Amino acid sequence: MPDHTSPARPDGEGLLLMANSGAGEAVLRADPLPVIRERLPRARVQELGPDDDLGDVVAAAMAGEDRPRALGVLGGDGSVSRMAHLARRHGVPLLVVPGGTYNHFARAAGIDDVDAALAAFTAGRLREVVVAEVCVDDGDPITVLNAVSLGNYPQFLAERTERASLGKWLGGVAAIVAALRHARPVRVTHEGRTATVWSVFVGVGRNNPHRHAMMQRVTLDDPVLDVRLHHARGSRLRAMASLAFGRRTLRLLRLLHVVPPASHFERQVTGRWKARVQPGKAPGSYVHDGELEQAPQSGFTLEVRAVPAGLRVYAP
């Protein structure tokens, strides 16, 4: 997909940028807001408070006389995903300024830091990217930038959320211990075939064939979904080991011989994936771009579809 050049806005005129002060444990040397305000003096830069609703703030701005011509967000993957949904709804491009723990989408887009984001914006470099949309039952579609997941990963994320006061690292360790005790498989029915699985990952675009937990996409313009199913044939330990996505962690787990064999996994590449999910004893939930969502415990239909050229992003 070719890049497109838009009129540069070197002073930030027409930009509404929201900063999520509650984003993940970002590894930032200093508060980037003074730099953003200095380099984009005519942008509207607003910090999102704990009681503010991002959708309401953007809707109010869009209804005003000076309607933003672009939306921006400083935050992690969850904040970026929510703002991407709003940018698509209002038909404007998105500026992503990495400010979270992992910044998966920003990194995939080549936006490694604040300077790279601002340079792309001031140069007016716009690129159309593939996104996905996820729907549960008859609900409205939600924009997805990286992946949707069922099974063990939502269970792990729920355990970690309950232990948020411990911090991300210590809370994560405690969540792994809890998941090793309580993880349960789920049943999914897709195109008339039912399988009991530890987890399902539906990634945007083709990903590394040797990984199961697809947190970060590897391409911006591949209009397909890469679906990975981990069949429930092994232990909880191996089920949790399959969620590792860091190279060093994967290497260590392989040395310890706890990574499940390739025969436990199934891959499908498609433009649309729809399944009936029966949580059983597992929680009724799913995750999109690191955001945990609740779904009916009695069962639900989850549908994901790829959307070519679904979003315009400022990127190098």
pLDDT, mean of residues 254-271: 81
Radius of gyration of the chain (CA): 20
209 vs 130, which has greater pLDDT? 130
- H runs (alpha helix) in the chain: 33-39, 54-63, 77-90, 104-108, 114-122, 152-162, 168-182, 236-241, 247-255
Residue in 41, 33, 220, 5 with CA at minimum distance from that of residue 123: 5
Which pLDDT belongs to residue 3?
42
Given a cut of 50, whether residue 144 has pLDDT beyond it is yes
* Of 103-107, 181-185, 269-273, minimum mean pLDDT range: 181-185
Whole-model pTM: value is 0.88
pLDDT, mean of residues 304-315: 97
Instruction: Return mean pLDDT, the chain.
Output: 87
61 vs 1, which has greater pLDDT? 61
Which pLDDT belongs to residue 95?
97
Angle at 300 between CA 105 and CA 152, to 5 degrees: 55
**Residue 137: CA atoms inside 13 Å, Cβ hemisphere, count?**
11
Given a cut of 60, whether residue 296 has pLDDT beyond it is yes
**Residue 224: CA atoms inside 13 Å, Cβ hemisphere, count?**
10
Q: What does DSSP assign to residue 14?
A: T
pLDDT, mean of residues 112-118: 96
Instruction: Give the model's confidence band at 22: pLDDT under 50 very low, under 70 low, under 90 confident, else very high.
Output: low
Given the structure tokens 């790279």, which residue do they identify? 116
Which pLDDT belongs to residue 215?
87
Instruction: Give the model's confidence band at 30: pLDDT under 50 very low, under 70 low, under 90 confident, else very high.
Output: confident
Summarize pLDDT for 193-240 with one digit per residue, the tens: 999 999 999 999 999 888 888 889 999 999 999 999 999 987 777 776
Percent of the chain surpassing pLDDT 70: 84
Given a cut of 50, whether residue 4 has pLDDT beyond it is no
Distance between CA 159 and CA 40 in Å, rounded? 40
pLDDT, mean of residues 126-154: 96
Is 314 in contact with 125 (CB distance < 8 Å)? yes
- Architecture of the domain delimited by 143-309: Sandwich (2.60)
Given a cut of 90, whether residue 178 has pLDDT beyond it is no
Of the options 3.20.20.480, 3.40.50.1820, 3.40.50.10330, 3.30.1300.10, the CATH number for the domain spanning 3-123: 3.40.50.10330
Is 207 in contact with 223 (CB distance < 8 Å)? no
Here the tokens at position 115 are 């300077």
Domain borders along the chain are 3-123, 143-309
Is 39 in contact with 145 (CB distance < 8 Å)? no
* Residue 128 φ/ψ region, left for φ over 0, alpha for ψ in the -120 to 50 degree band, beta for the rest: beta
Q: How long a stretch of residues is the chain?
A: 316
Is 314 in contact with 95 (CB distance < 8 Å)? yes
Is 106 in contact with 120 (CB distance < 8 Å)? no
